[in-house]
Each structure stands twice: as C-alpha cells, then as structure tokens.
Amino acid sequence: MKYNYITVEGCIGAGKTTLAEKLSEDLNAQIVLERFIDNPFLAKFYQDSEHYAFPLEMTFLTDRYQQLKTLLSKRDLFTDLVISDYFIDKCHIFAKNNLQGDEYNLYIKVYEIISAYLPKPEIIIYLHNSIEQLLKNIANRGRDFEQNIAPEYLQDIQGSYMNYLGHLSNIPVVIVDTHELDFVKHIEHYNYLKSLLDRDFHTGINMVIPSEDPAFSAR
C-alpha cells in the first residue's frame, strides 16, 4: 500500500462511507467515520436551514476535530493504515454554502485554528456521480431527514467540492467518475477502486474515468 492515511470523499449520497468501510475491512485498516447521526442539529437543518446552519456546522467542526485528534494522534505515521470517510476541509466547503456574513467569518476563524493542528491525508479519493444518481442513492438508504434534499443543494455542494479540490495542490486528489460503477454489487468494480491505492498520483487533481482506463476494461 502506497498510502498510510487515505480519505474517501464525495457529495451526499456518493457512497463514501460504504467504500471506506469495505476498504478498511479488506485492508485491516483503522477506520474514521463521520458521526453525523449524533449531530442534534442535522434533521433540524433540513427543515430550517437558515436558523440551524451555524450550530450544525459548529457541531460538525468540533466533533470532527475531537475525533481526528484523538484517533490520528495515536497512530504511527509510518506503519498504521487509516481510512476516513471525510476530509476535515469539508467543514470549509459546507460552511461556504450554508453560512453567510458574520457567522461565516467567525466560523472560518475557528476552522483555521482547528484544522492547522490536524494531519492531512496522503491521498483523497473523490467519488463523483450525477445529481440524479445521488438523489437515487439518498432515497434508497432511507434516512427520513434527507428525503427532501433539493437537487440544487447537491449541485451547489458538488460544485463547491470541485472548486475547492481544484485548488488543493499539496495532496493527490483522485476524482473518479463512478456513474458506471456499482462497487457494492460488483466485486470487480470494488477491486478496481481498491487498485487505485497502489498507483502513484501527482499532487493536485487526477481525473479517472474507468471506461477510458485499460486497467478497468481488463477486469
């Protein structure tokens, strides 16, 4: 394995947690999963985003910081394999979409202080899919508080991810077009995604389109 700290990212409904769990089990890795179910403001945010955006984002930020600081500070940077289903910088991405004015400015000050103390992943695998498929995935997993998410909101979030990751120059970011993949039902699709972790990627954006990759078509 070329990387010891791997992050799987993606928009809501992209399958990042499912892939991170499968990889961690397969590779006997320590897993770091976002504890979104424990956030008391998440369901309220989807009902009244303007009122609950700030406490939602602050709760996510402090919880992510506590979780990453506790778990990652205990690992051996050179031997322990860690796989997470989120990148701390997603705090910045979601805050930019959900907060405005003084709340956003205050949040970013706190975020910059907190994020500076956390290690960064050695590679980010971003699962990119269509908004239509994301909505289908969200519907299929059946979380009540997610069922009214608007496609425009997903479009804004995914666009913000693309913009942010496009300016991330110190980490390899592998954006995988997953609209042709079902790594839950098809083991060959999962094995293809896992094989990406054995490749060398340059820092910054690396686009991967499976249908154009000989390594995928050979499977």
Which residues are catalytic, by number? Answer: 85
Q: Please write down the HEC assignment for all residues of the chain.
A: CCCCEEEEEECCCCCHHHHHHHHHHHHCCEEECCCHHHCCCHHHHHHCHHHHHHHHHHHHHHHHHHHHHHHHCCCCCCCCCEEECCCCCHHHHHHHHHCCHHHHHHHHHHHHHHHCCCCCCCEEEEEECCHHHHHHHHHHHCCHHHCCCCHHHHHHHHHHHHHHHHCCCCCEEEEEECCCCCCCCCHHHHHHHHHHHHCCCCCEEEEECHHHCHHHHCC
Place of tokens 């799987």: 8
| CA pair distance 178, 186, nearest whole angstrom | 13
CA angle 128, 114, 61 (to 5 degrees): 55
| CA pair distance 153, 139, nearest whole angstrom | 15
